């Protein structure tokens, strides 16, 4: 097993994660070893049910595995209590969910200000910063719309703006382009890739969308609860099941 280097941003070793008990037990991760480097955008691909979202949740500290170690920017997450995990997430993590998870009673812009307000940023500054990111994701003019009046692609862009607004070191995206057309998906990925280009940054993207593979520095292929291999050229992937 290799030792962590200064470049390591995320590292899981021997992670086991199961749900349920007895006959209904489902093992989602089996000895999953994963690492992501500082300054890179790494994609996680594999068939439906192979454990991608579960691995993201473990890295995000929203699921605690039954075995194994999880380290994010030098901080061990396994063993941390709920309160410390919450603090860690607020400071270090942006998460774009497969289902957008927007707050329906807030306007789109208000949704984007939430992570800043939680961090104690003033209302005025939060709005200013949210407006800048809002424009970047191509939503200018829809600030006051509630999420349910936006298209799926627009909601996804609000979710991305919310994940980016506090400039988290670790950005985790679960199918960020699945609801977007080709051009919008490429624009969003371009933006996400630019963000990953900093030594104190790391972006992990789960996707089935082969059109965006070209934005990855490396691609980790998952199979049956573990990382099967990691490649830096998408042509080396077995894409028949994606
Ligand atoms: N909360 C849960 N309770 C029970 N089983 C779960 C739970 N979450 C995930 N699983 C199971 O764990 C396995 C891995 O699920 P996971 O959501 O990580 O897959 P995935 O690779 O993200 O799939 P997809 O590409 O369809 O999103 C599946 O068999 C799933 O049914
Ligand atoms: Mg999933």
In the sheet that holds 8-19, the strands lie side by side as 26-37, 8-19, 67-72, 75-76
Q: How far is the CA of 199 from the centre of ligand 1 (A)?
A: 32
CA distance 95 to 146: 20
Closest CA to 110 of 125, 80, 130, 136: 130
For residue 175, give the ligand 1 atom closest to its CA.
27
Instruction: Give the distance (Å) from ligand 2 centre to CA of residue 99.
Output: 10
Q: Which of 27, 28, 34 to mutate to test the pocket of ligand 1 (most atoms within 8 A of CB)?
A: 28
Q: Considering every ligand atom shown, identify the ligand nearest to the alpha carbon of residue 208 and give its number.
A: 1
Residue 101 or residue 206, greater confidence: 206
Task: Decide if pLDDT at 5 tops 80.
Answer: no
Residue 97: its pLDDT value, please? 81
Mean pLDDT, to the nearest integer, of 160-173? 92
Q: What is the pTM of this model?
A: 0.90
| CA–CA separation, 35 and 9 (whole Å) | 7
177 vs 15 pLDDT, higher one: 15
pLDDT digits (tens, 9 = 90+) for 230-240: 998 877 777 77
Q: Is the pLDDT of residue 122 over 90?
A: yes
Residues of the chain with pLDDT > 90, as a percent, come to 67
pLDDT band at 99 (very low <50, low <70, confident <90, very high): confident
Domains of the chain: 8-99+167-235 (3.40.50.300)
Mean model confidence pLDDT for the chain: 91
Residue 6: predicted pLDDT: 57
Q: What is the pLDDT of residues 41-94, one digit of tens each?
A: 999 999 999 999 999 999 999 999 999 999 999 999 988 999 999 999 988 999
User: What is the C-alpha to C-alpha distance for residues 96 and 157, in angstroms, rounded to an integer?
Assistant: 9
Q: Radius of gyration (Cα) for the chain, nearest Å?
A: 18
Is residue 2 predicted with pLDDT exceeding 60?
Answer: no
pLDDT band at 131 (very low <50, low <70, confident <90, very high): very high
Structure tokens at 139: 């939503």
pLDDT score of 180? 80
Phi/psi of residue 5, each to 5°? -110, 175
Task: State in Å: Cα 157 to ligand 1 middle.
Answer: 24
Using DSSP, state whether 189 is helix, strand or coil.
helix
> What is the token pair recorded at 55?
């691995």
């Amino acid at each position: 097993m290799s030792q962590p280097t200064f470049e390591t941003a995320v590292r899981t070793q021997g992670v086991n994660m199961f749900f349920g008990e007895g006959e209904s037990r489902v093992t989602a991760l089996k000895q999953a070893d994963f690492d992501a480097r500082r300054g890179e955008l790494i994609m996680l691909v594999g068939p439906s049910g192979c454990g991608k979202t579960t691995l993201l949740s473990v890295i995000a500290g929203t699921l605690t595995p039954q075995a194994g170690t999880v380290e994010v920017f030098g901080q061990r997450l396994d063993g941390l209590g709920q309160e410390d995990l919450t603090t860690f997430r607020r400071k270090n993590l942006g998460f774009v969910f497969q289902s957008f998870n927007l707050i329906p009673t807030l306007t789109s812009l208000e949704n984007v200000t939430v992570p800043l307000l939680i961090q104690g940023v003033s209302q005025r500054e939060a709005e200013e910063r949210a407006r800048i990111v809002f424009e970047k994701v191509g939503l200018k003019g829809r600030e006051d719309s509630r999420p349910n009046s936006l298209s799926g692609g627009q909601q996804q862009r609000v979710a991305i703006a919310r994940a980016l607004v506090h400039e988290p070191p670790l950005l985790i995206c679960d199918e960020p382009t699945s609801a977007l057309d080709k051009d919008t998906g490429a624009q969003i990925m371009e933006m996400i890739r630019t963000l990953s280009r900093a030594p104190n940054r790391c972006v992990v993207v789960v996707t089935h969308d082969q059109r965006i593979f070209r934005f990855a520095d490396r691609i980790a292929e998952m199979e049956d609860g573990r990382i099967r291999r990691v490649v830096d050229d998408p042509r080396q992937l077995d894409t028949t099941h994606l």
